[in-house]
Amino acid sequence: MKKILLIAFTLIFCACSNSDDSNTNDIDKLIGIWKPYREVEVYTNGEEDIYFPSVCELKNRFTFREDRTFFNTNYP
């Protein structure tokens, strides 16, 4: 679960830009409720580890709002 949170935070930081010419449409693409499908870790040597969530973890949701807040809903 910690890996999923790390990925979600990475998405937030990658989607946000400090430049004045940033395109707000990019952030609009992230806004909404997302469900986990799979987790991919890519290492510096190019190798990948793919993790598929359990049936229970598939019920989890990540919510990204227009005010740039993030909520994670976990189901046991």
Query: pLDDT tens digits, residue range 18-55?
Result: 555 555 677 788 899 999 899 999 999 999 999 999 99
Query: What are the sequence ranges of the domains in the chain?
Result: 2-16+23-73
Phi, psi dihedrals of residue 72, rounded to the nearest 5°: -120, 125
Write out the two tokens for 11: 């998405």
Rounded CA separation 41/51 (Å)? 8
Is the overall model pTM greater than 0.85, yes or no? no
Q: Where are the alpha helices (DSSP H) in 1-76?
A: 2-15, 24-30
> pLDDT at position 5, please?
56
Average pLDDT, the chain: 79
